[in-house]
Amino acid sequence: MSLFLAVVVAGGAPPAFAQRSAALQQLVEGARKEGQLDLMISSSVGGEQGAKELTDAFKRRFGLELRINADLAGQESQKFNQAVTEGKAGIPPTYDLMQGTDENVLSLKEAGGVEPIANWESLLAEVAPEAAKVKEKISPHNLAGYGFLWSTRTAAILYNPKTISEAELPKTWKQMGDPKYKAAFSVPPFTSLSLMGLLKYEKDELLDIIRSWGRNKRDVLVYDAAAQRVMLGDLKFSYGNTDIYIEQKANDPGAPLEVSFFEDLTPRRNVMYLVRKGARRPNAAKLFALWVTGAEANAIIEKRNSIENLGLARGPVSSKIVKILERKNIKPASWFDSPKTAEKFLWLGTDEGRKYSQAIARAQREGK
């Protein structure tokens, strides 16, 4: 199956709206003239079929006939690095619209590679009024007008109740370094989650915590593989994403997998859309970025996969996760809860911050 999807479908007549504002009508007419949109879509939307359903719905919503080239191949970090290189070299961007975690979005914004959407608040209220009601979650703080929410990823402890009870699990990040958890869990091969410990701990203290994880770990595994090992009983627990728990339970309600959360810190990462500076089709890109934040797009996304969106908090997957978090009185934290927390992330892009990130990676990998 090709990972590059090209679809050309007549959008049909637009639905009967109240009269559009001049600003929205300008975007729609601009998109119509552009005739094409090149963008990234996560394959977790349901592969090519899910991407087609999503893009067809977008075209119907605005009565557009567009050729939409949707890249589902992943490799987000490489593509954002490429975008930075394109900007520095003055090369036209590969994509009109990119999708990535909020830290990648902010990094590209800081490099001057993101085009803001003018009057985004009034446009969002018109395009996706349900999203506009929570606009501070949809396009938060340092990314306001630049990044627009697609989904969220909430960190959680996934454990096998046959091998360990919830009461026996570590309650804090520090406790996971207790020798009694030696070889009980795995760590991921990346540090995006570990570095979010800066939201709670000072730099030296966090480094010591991650060293203790590195000494205690049994294996280095990506989240999905770790969850499989937990269900097999090979690991007692893993630290991954809540949506993995939802997905496994949807596939098999009797799967030996339960979810819990640390009491000191539960990180949440946002996955967002951004319009590239110098995009060939800026109008279509801006229109899609606004529309995809709303209920219509979210319903398609959650129907196809266990993707959560705690900003909008409307679909079945998100509702389940919200209920779990509320029951356990957990309030997830992100880099973009305030300007102060965003500054902590931006520090990681400095020379000192990069050296610190390397130290965290070694600590997680080697326990040193």
pLDDT at 2 over 50: no
41 Cβ contact list (under 8 Å, min separation 6): 51, 54, 55, 70, 71, 72, 99
Q: 173 and 200 in contact (C-beta within 8 Å)? A: yes
Rounded Cα distance, 84 and 111, in Å: 7
123 Cβ contact list (under 8 Å, min separation 6): 21, 23, 24, 27, 117, 286, 290
Joined tokens for residue 148? 């627009």
- CA distances to 145, 174, 279 from 177, in Å: 40, 6, 47
Q: Based on the domain organization, do 213 and 338 belong to the same domain?
A: yes
Note the pLDDT of residue 9: 39
Give the distance from CA 224 to its chain's centroid: 16
Structure-model confidence comparison of residues 336 and 216, the more confident one: 216
Q: Based on the domain organization, do 358 and 307 belong to the same domain?
A: no
pLDDT at 16 over 60: no
With CA atoms as reference, report the closest residue to 292 among 24, 107, 57, 103. 57
Rounded Cα distance, 293 and 290, in Å: 6
For the question of whether the overall pTM of this predicted structure is more than 0.85, the answer is: no
Find the domain containing 171 and state its range: 154-268+330-366
Q: Is residue 70 part of a domain?
A: yes
Note the pLDDT of residue 346: 87
Helix (H) or strand (E) holding 289: helix 282-291
Q: Based on the domain organization, do 284 and 264 belong to the same domain?
A: no
Q: What is the pLDDT of residues 78-132, one digit of tens each?
A: 899 899 999 888 899 999 999 998 788 888 998 899 999 999 999 999 999 999 9
With CA atoms as reference, report the closest residue to 242 among 350, 322, 144. 322
- CA distances to 93, 238, 272, 275 from 291, in Å: 22, 35, 12, 13
Q: What is the pLDDT of residues 23-42, one digit of tens each?
A: 999 999 999 999 999 998 87
Q: Based on the domain organization, do 146 and 262 belong to the same domain?
A: no
pLDDT at 46 over 80: no
- Residue 274 — very low, low, confident or very high, per pLDDT cuts 50/70/90? very high
Q: Is 127 exposed, middle or buried (0-12, 13-18, 19+ CB in 10 A)?
A: buried
Q: Is residue 325 part of a domain?
A: no
Joined tokens for residue 365? 């990998």
Q: Based on the domain organization, do 10 and 129 belong to the same domain?
A: yes
Q: Is residue 297 part of a domain?
A: yes
- Residue 18 — very low, low, confident or very high, per pLDDT cuts 50/70/90? low
102 Cβ contact list (under 8 Å, min separation 6): 143, 147, 269, 270, 271, 272, 334, 335, 336
Q: Is residue 189 part of a domain?
A: yes
Joined tokens for residue 7? 């679809």
Q: Based on the domain organization, do 73 and 116 belong to the same domain?
A: yes
Q: The CATH number of the domain where 106 resides is what? A: 3.40.190.10
Number of domains in the chain: 2
Q: Based on the domain organization, do 13 and 129 belong to the same domain?
A: yes
Q: Is residue 233 part of a domain?
A: yes
Rounded Cα distance, 202 and 355, in Å: 16
Q: Based on the domain organization, do 95 and 237 belong to the same domain?
A: no
Joined tokens for residue 57? 């719905």
Q: Based on the domain organization, do 354 and 220 belong to the same domain?
A: yes
334 Cβ contact list (under 8 Å, min separation 6): 102, 140, 199, 267, 268, 269, 270, 341
Count CB atoms within 10 A of the CB of residue 153. 24
Rounded Cα distance, 113 and 85, in Å: 10
Q: Is residue 29 part of a domain?
A: yes
pLDDT at 13 over 60: no
Q: Based on the domain organization, do 184 and 257 belong to the same domain?
A: yes
Q: Based on the domain organization, do 77 and 186 belong to the same domain?
A: no
**Could you give the percent of the chain with pLDDT greater than 70?**
93
Q: Is residue 180 part of a domain?
A: yes
Note the pLDDT of residue 44: 67
With CA atoms as reference, report the closest residue to 245 among 192, 306, 193, 187. 306
Q: Is residue 353 part of a domain?
A: yes
Would residue 46 be called left, alpha or beta, if left means φ above 0 and alpha means ψ between -120 and 50 degrees? left
Sign of the dihedral defined by the CA atoms of residues 194, 198, 199, 201, in that order: positive
Q: Based on the domain organization, do 138 and 38 belong to the same domain?
A: yes
